[in-house]
Structure 1
Amino acid sequence: MSEDTTPPRRDVRFPSGTDRCHAWLYLPAGTSPARRVPVIVMAHGLGAVKALRLAAYAERFTAAGYACLVFDYRHFGDSEGEPRELLSIRRQRQDWQAAVAFARTLPEADPDKVVVWGTSFAGGHVVATAARDPRIAAAIAQCPFLDGIASVRQLPARETLKLVTTGVKDLLAHARGREPVRIKAGARSGQVGLMSSVEDMQSLLALLAASGIEEADYPNDVPARVALTIPAARPGRDAHKVACPILFCVADNDDLAPPDATVRMASRAPRGEIRHYDTGHFDIYLGDDFDAAITDQLDFLGRHVPVA
């Protein structure tokens, strides 16, 4: 029987606002207050939770000697917050700040070697977080959402109108104290959703399967008001403020975070590095594309935030 080399993890919680976020803490062997290591703070993208394959990344990083704090946003996954699946850009940015602050208090972590890692929608949060916090040692943004206008332009006009209409209905319901009007994060044909192409839905289902999650068990409905905030979300405009080294992993066939807009904004980061992958938005989490991306990310970390 082969020895299990999966790094151990423990459940932790940290405060954000009036709620608590749940996180997995991975620590490499031999870590102690006398031997502190860099810590990578990690979170997922649009409507997603840490159980959706983030463990695969954390295990590789921990095997290389890095601690990892992998968290769910408020309202999602194992974290607190009502209503459930509320997708608020402002709140998620606050969760990032709270997670970084908590990581700096970990006795096993070097508070001056905190790395932020985000994928998809969280790739934009990483840029915003690193731009705001000059103590961040390095950042990794995988298939990042940097330009809301560019993403919305990918949608057919009819789909955009449905999203706006449903978003307004949800805002009115919220103002009247009623239950949220919801839309799908990942939609099938005929459904109103933030991600609605057949290819994206098939890739999302493959990602769920690889994570051991049944589609019926995955919360996929979010309050529709978020659709009104996405066009104004352009975190890539802050790339020029990111002082630390930052790696952008760009999926060249991405129809959710258009690669041209991503590269244009990423190029403004003073210490930015860009890597390209011949893959789609969800494909980078699996198989050879995952291996290629994680290899580049480990190389980046080894050059900029090496483990002593």
Structure 2
Amino acid sequence: MSMERENVRFTSGRDECAAWYYPGTDGSCVIMAGGLAVTKEPGTDQFARRFQEAGLGVLAFDYRGIGESGGRPRQVLPMRRQRADWHAALAFARTLPGVDPARIALWAFSASGGHVLRVAAETRDDAVPPAAVVAQTPNVGGFAATRHTTRHQKPLAMLRFTARGVLDALGGLVGRAPLLVPLNGRPGEVALITTPDAADTGPALNPGGRYPEWRQEVAARTGVALALYQPGRYAARIPCPLLVVVCDQDATAAPGPAAAAARRAPHGDVVHLPGGHYAPFLGAHEQALAAELSFLRAHLPAADAAPLA
């Protein structure tokens, strides 16, 4: 099929979210978003194009406050507002021509992989819930996950990051500009991710600097909020099939708690892959893609589709 992609926008709160819509051929729609402060360009296109080639429709969006979406202040990403963007994307996807509202799935990774667990569990009573959810290397929260990442940071840098986050949160209350920190860094630097996975961010998401407009920084207050965020608690309330893709050497999103969240889900399944946090974008890409496509085809079948062999 021809590779078509449309620029679309939808309303979330008082602002608009920018999105790409990849029309499919089977009436389905997979809603996608990148990880924390990762825009749709580096965060979704690698998978979205392959999903479209397989006949699935895709809606990939930027959260408010980043990328091409509206919303201020910029690079500030409250967890609640990001979840509201997911609900707005769900409502918008149901209105897209040719999309069956009963055949919509959610796909996300890292911090956003945690969001989709809670979004699927808290879908509004008056709306059709998603038919399936894919959480790839999700950050499901909890103290175990926090300990997992802080093993790769130096104590003084942790204190500096926390202090910056508290100051940023207080400044936000009086309308000050956010205090930003890099998304990635080395141990000892004040950055959101200082695990060994940080070195793979460029090759995985931004090879050769392909996306120069992607701002790889986030408000320090967002990082502090993420440390307290525990979306994995909602896994037991997810009514639809759930696939959790974990990477066994992931130093950023602890694989053990992610797999445990999948086991708590009534219809959860786990796929284990070798490698670190970004392996599904690198050496394990074809394995991840095959597992996710098999899952989506099984739970978003076309009306006249034959059973999978």
TM (norm. structure 2) is 0.90
Structure 2 partner of 1:50: 40
Structure 1 partner of 2:170: 172
Q: Tell me, yes or no, if the aligned pair for 2:38 and 2:214 is still in contact at 8 Å.
A: no
SS in 2 for 1:14: strand
SS in 1 for 2:41: coil
Structure 2 partner of 1:114: 104
CA–CA separation in structure 2 for the residues paired with 1:146 and 1:6: 37
Structure 1 partner of 2:119: 129
Structure 2 partner of 1:160: 158
Matched, 1:254 2:254: no
Q: 1:210-241 deviations in whole A, cap 9, x for unaligned?
A: 37526x64312211111321232111110000
Structure 2 partner of 1:151: 145
CA–CA separation in structure 2 for the residues paired with 1:54 and 1:248: 17
Structure 2 partner of 1:295: 290
Structure 2 partner of 1:24: 20
Change in CA separation of 1:211 and 1:45 when aligned onto 2, cut-off 3 Å: farther
Deviation at 1:83, TM superposition (A): 1.6
Q: 1:304 aligns with which of 299, 302, 305?
A: 299
Change in CA separation of 1:238 and 1:302 when aligned onto 2, cut-off 3 Å: same
Structure 2 partner of 1:205: 202
CA–CA separation in structure 1 for the residues paired with 2:240 and 2:42: 28
Deviation at 1:190, TM superposition (A): 4.3
Identity of aligned residues (%): 38
Deviation at 1:273, TM superposition (A): 0.8
Q: 1:220 aligns with which of 213, 216, 223?
A: 216
Structure 2 partner of 1:90: 80
Q: Which amino acid aligns with 2:273?
A: Y
Q: Tell me, yes or no, if the aligned pair for 2:156 and 2:188 is still in contact at 8 Å.
A: no
Q: Tell me, yes or no, if the aligned pair for 2:42 and 2:206 is still in contact at 8 Å.
A: no
Q: Tell me, yes or no, if the aligned pair for 1:150 and 1:257 is still in contact at 8 Å.
A: no
Change in CA separation of 1:148 and 1:160 when aligned onto 2, cut-off 3 Å: farther
TM (norm. structure 1) is 0.90
Q: Tell me, yes or no, if the aligned pair for 2:185 and 2:191 is still in contact at 8 Å.
A: yes
CA–CA separation in structure 1 for the residues paired with 2:48 and 2:83: 21
CA–CA separation in structure 1 for the residues paired with 2:131 and 2:3: 24
Structure 1 partner of 2:306: none
Matched, 1:77 2:67: yes
SS in 1 for 2:28: strand
Change in CA separation of 1:148 and 1:158 when aligned onto 2, cut-off 3 Å: farther
Gap runs ≥5 in structure 2 = 304-309
Q: Which amino acid aligns with 2:300?
A: V
Structure 2 partner of 1:14: 10
Matched, 1:240 2:230: no
* Count of matched residue positions in the alignment of Structure 1 and Structure 2: 295
Q: Which amino acid aligns with 2:295?
A: F
Q: 2:135 aligns with which of 129, 136, 141?
A: 141
Change in CA separation of 1:158 and 1:253 when aligned onto 2, cut-off 3 Å: same
Which stretch has the larger CA shift, 201-210 or 106-115? Answer: 201-210
Change in CA separation of 1:149 and 1:160 when aligned onto 2, cut-off 3 Å: farther
Matched, 1:271 2:267: yes
Gap runs ≥5 in structure 1 = none
SS in 2 for 1:270: coil
User: How large is the Cα RMSD of the aligned pairs?
Assistant: 1.8
CA–CA separation in structure 1 for the residues paired with 2:102 and 2:33: 20
Deviation at 1:209, TM superposition (A): 3.8
CA–CA separation in structure 2 for the residues paired with 1:16 and 1:211: 33
SS in 2 for 1:274: strand
CA–CA separation in structure 2 for the residues paired with 1:181 and 1:210: 27
CA–CA separation in structure 1 for the residues paired with 2:142 and 2:3: 37
Q: Tell me, yes or no, if the aligned pair for 1:51 and 1:211 is still in contact at 8 Å.
A: no
SS in 2 for 1:295: helix
Q: 1:124-161 deviations in whole A, cap 9, x for unaligned?
A: 11101111126211110000110242232121443432
Q: Tell me, yes or no, if the aligned pair for 1:167 and 1:226 is still in contact at 8 Å.
A: yes
CA–CA separation in structure 1 for the residues paired with 2:230 and 2:164: 22
SS in 1 for 2:138: coil
Deviation at 1:266, TM superposition (A): 1.7
